[in-house]
Structure 1
Amino acid sequence: MGIPVGLFTVLTVIIMSATYLGALPGGMVGAFPIMMIIGAILNEIGDHTPILKDYLGGGPILIIFGSAALVGYGILPEKSAAIITSFMKKEGFLSFYIAALICGSILGMDRKLLIKAAVRYLPVILGGVCTALLLCGVAGMLMGFGFEEAVLYIALPIMGGGMGAGAVPLSQIFGSTLNMDVGSMLSKMVPALALGNALAIVCGGLLHRLGSVVPGLSGNGKLLKNQEAEAEDTADTAGSIDYMAMGIGLLLATTFFVWGKILGKYIPIHSYALMILSVGAVKAFGLLPRKYELCAFQWFRFVMISLTPALLMGIGVAYTNLQQVIDALTIQYIILVAMTVIGSIIGSGFMGLILGFYPVEAAITGGLCMANMGGTGDVAVLSASKRMQLMPFAQISSRIGGAFMLILATALLKMFM
């Protein structure tokens, strides 16, 4: 967190003392510090643990499962767990985080890159998604797991763009649509997400080797054939921190969220999906001055960097049933996860070949960067495949592709249920 160990230790002792003495206040004033402290500790451990950091997502996965274990084994007092659960569910911290993520990530992208991606790159993502869902569904049907169950609870979360922008809003959509507990949804999705991320990283390395053995399939980091270098994502040029700008970003994010709720009263689509479509339309048509887009982006970056470990800790406490997760990890489950990742490679690589992309690069960015755990997964996959220069397209997969999966999930739920 950028705090010296000595000072962090003092803060930790204070918060943990309040926790075990029953003095932790309710609401955000008590929930924030304990979620941030425990989230930061577990994140640090996860990011420095061999195997876990290289193949299973590192800190984010340990935060979720570690926090769930603290509750499951009675290490975290019930009163503190209740404060965190209330903050996540009743007081809306989860929705607050998702609003910032969706609004800022889309508005912060370069408009030309967004439009260009929609025309030439999104079909590559779509090819990977369709093949992944189909392979997983068919495998689920053949193994007696069920076509619909495999698609909804394994393939969709894996291809959903990570945890904060994927599995978390997906579980909200499932819970509200099916009138089921969001925690049960997440407990089914999180193992798929972790395994899918691990497999995507391994496959990134394998695709790099394939490109070396069969040079005609790879552009050695260049995505499009016969074309100059692509435009870079200019989101990181948001400038120096402006406190008033962050306040404007907060207002924009929450207003777009409320707008999605208004539309949801008249359009039979989940409010998250309607919010995404609204933000995407505003961005594509240039309806908002760039100054305010950067406000939303600054607010999103603050929330993502400062509050993600806290959010994941809350997810572990409020939404993750550790025993359900353990029960889900069967050989059948692992095979279905593998079919999803393999399907993403085949579909995006083939579609990329048709549209003039190098198949290896198309499979890595349009396939594996959809099947991994969002931003951290993008870095791991591109590092394993030695193609870090493809980060702008990986980000499109994680941001726009992930948003598309939320819309697709809403449609599939109406189709299947």
Structure 2
Amino acid sequence: MFTNDTMSVQDQRTGKIILAIAASIILFATFENKMPGGMIGALGAMAIVGFILNYVGDRTPIINQFFGGGAIVVIFGSSYLFHSNIFPSSTADQITTFMKGGGFLAFYVASLVTGSILGMSTQTLKKAALKYIPVIFGAVFVACGLAAIVGFIVGKNYFDSVMLIALPIMGGGMGAGAVPLVEIMSGKTGMNAESLMSQMVPALAIGNAIAIVIAGLLHKLGQIAPSLTGNGQLIRANNEEQETEQTNDSLDVKILGIGALLAISMFFIGTLLSSVINMHTYALMIISIAIIKVSGLMPKALEHAAHSWYKFVVNNLTPALLVGIGVAYTNLDQIISALSPMYFLLVFITVLGAVIGAGLVGWLMGFYPIEAAITGGLCMANMGGTGDVAVLAASKRMELMPFAQISSRIGGAFMLILATLAVQAFS
């Protein structure tokens, strides 16, 4: 902030003072429950709280080195602040409405997916697409296998450890995972929908929290062992090609506007296709953008515009979005109430198994194991789209969003098929 070489030291100091005053006004209005309605009130509070918590997290020892720094502090800190009556409850309601009803998350994900795919090397995209699905299978196989083994050791049967814990965690979140899983299992397992949901939801919440923490640890591992990571690039020994694709990006205002329009248009394409094809909007959007990229239909200038917009969104809106995730999607009470040692162990083993399986298969497929573990493992084990953002922010690898969404959407659909087969086999 205020590092432009053309600005004098005095101008920079004055600018910081003005921003501090602006932040104070927004915080005061938030505390006093005087926020304006709609997007302007919600986004203002989210931006300021996100900036402060991110600043603190990135400068807190141990947390900034091993646990994802600002990202994890923003998510859990904002969840605590807005759900413990420190801020008025109406503020949390307004932020939740903006996140869920206002489409802020969809706007963010569309920007990242469009810009990162169009900014990717065509050859990289082709190679990754052919090899990535086995990484997801590896994550699921090891996660469910370890959950079954550890469950057996601690006296839990297959149904309790795999069907009620491992499958929901790996299922792609709440709406695309737990809810349809309950529909598949209720009536056929001797349990009603309410009982199933009450046991699955804590696993999702705790698994999501563990995935975020492990993402920060994997980022640290990459710093300790550089050979294990591509620092955001999935395919090994492909960094030069990636850099060539992205060096001409511009932050010109008109270019950013074009990039934003492309991201919105791609989301519209996914929405229209989902009305006739029974797949998630994000999955269809990813497939559409990939086809456009591989076919070469998009001019390079527009690809660069989309990638420039992606960088703008990541650099400026991520802390605000993480506040929204903390407020609207993270229930600390639910996580704490389910933290029995046995339950926590099975959830942890499931997430760890996803990391191990994805990392090992990713290495065999020619990927960097850390990037494979993050996208194919942690992004299968988190809570869908919101979890993807949190995990990638904690691991500082937002450019991997397309692969994260493949895991959450296409991988989540695979888990529903697997659950259907498992219920038929064991019911």
TM-score higher than 0.5:
yes
**Percentage identity across aligned positions?**
31
Counterpart in the other structure of 1:154: 169
> What is the deviation of 1:311?
0.9
Counterpart in the other structure of 1:297: 307
Change (3 A) 1:377 1:284: farther
Q: What is the one-letter code of the residue matched to 1:363?
A: P
Counterpart in the other structure of 2:268: 258
Q: Deviations over 1:50-79 (max 9, x none)?
A: 222223222122212111112221111123
Q: What is the one-letter code of the residue matched to 1:316?
A: G
Contact 2:171–2:413 (8 Å) recurs in 1: no
Distance 2:223 2:34 in 1: 54
Task: Please say if 1:413 is aligned against 2:416.
Answer: yes
Name the stretch that deviates more: 1-10 or 307-316: 1-10
- Structure 2 residue matching 1:98: 3-state secondary structure: helix
- Structure 2 residue matching 1:76: 3-state secondary structure: coil
Counterpart in the other structure of 2:242: 233
Q: What is the one-letter code of the residue matched to 1:407?
A: I
Distance 1:111 1:151 in 2: 35
Counterpart in the other structure of 1:286: 296
Change (3 A) 1:294 1:310: same
- Structure 2 residue matching 1:233: 3-state secondary structure: helix
Q: 2:64 aligns with which of 37, 53, 58?
A: 53
Name the stretch that deviates more: 291-300 or 400-409: 400-409
Task: Please say if 1:364 is aligned against 2:374.
Answer: no
Q: 1:27 aligns with which of 28, 32, 38?
A: 38
> What is the deviation of 1:299?
1.4
Change (3 A) 1:280 1:19: same
- Structure 1 residue matching 2:242: 3-state secondary structure: coil
Task: Please say if 1:77 is aligned against 2:88.
Answer: yes
Q: What is the one-letter code of the residue matched to 1:310?
A: A
> What is the deviation of 1:204?
7.8
Contact 1:346–1:363 (8 Å) recurs in 2: no
Counterpart in the other structure of 1:192: 207
Change (3 A) 1:137 1:249: farther
Counterpart in the other structure of 2:385: none
> What is the deviation of 1:127?
5.3
Distance 1:270 1:262 in 2: 11
Distance 1:229 1:322 in 2: 40
> What is the deviation of 1:308?
1.0
> What is the deviation of 1:411?
3.5
Task: Please say if 1:243 is aligned against 2:258.
Answer: no
Q: What is the one-letter code of the residue matched to 2:66?
A: Y
Q: What is the one-letter code of the residue matched to 2:211?
A: G
> What is the deviation of 1:346?
4.7
Contact 1:124–1:362 (8 Å) recurs in 2: no
Over the residues paired in the alignment, what is the CA RMSD in angstroms? 3.8
Contact 2:267–2:285 (8 Å) recurs in 1: yes
Q: Deviations over 1:212-246 (max 9, x none)?
A: xxxxxx97879xxxx97664323542422121221
Name the stretch that deviates more: 186-195 or 324-333: 186-195
> What is the deviation of 1:409?
0.6
- Structure 1 residue matching 2:86: 3-state secondary structure: coil
Q: What is the one-letter code of the residue matched to 1:403?
A: I
Contact 2:47–2:319 (8 Å) recurs in 1: yes
Change (3 A) 1:323 1:197: closer
> What is the deviation of 1:395?
5.5
> What is the deviation of 1:140?
7.5
Contact 1:154–1:337 (8 Å) recurs in 2: no
Number of aligned residue pairs: give it. 374
- Structure 1 residue matching 2:241: 3-state secondary structure: coil
Q: 1:349 aligns with which of 339, 344, 360?
A: 360
Distance 2:63 2:141 in 1: 28
Q: What is the one-letter code of the residue matched to 2:55?
A: E
Distance 1:365 1:23 in 2: 44
Contact 2:229–2:368 (8 Å) recurs in 1: no
> What is the deviation of 1:252?
1.5
Q: Deviations over 1:329-369 (max 9, x none)?
A: 3333234323432453356436745x6x5xxx853342356
Contact 2:112–2:399 (8 Å) recurs in 1: no
- Structure 2 residue matching 1:269: 3-state secondary structure: coil
Contact 1:133–1:151 (8 Å) recurs in 2: yes
Q: What is the one-letter code of the residue matched to 1:154?
A: I
- Structure 1 residue matching 2:250: 3-state secondary structure: coil
Distance 2:223 2:22 in 1: 45
Contact 2:79–2:331 (8 Å) recurs in 1: yes
Please report the TM-score for the alignment, with normalisation by the length of structure 2. Answer: 0.74
Counterpart in the other structure of 1:129: 139
Change (3 A) 1:34 1:365: closer
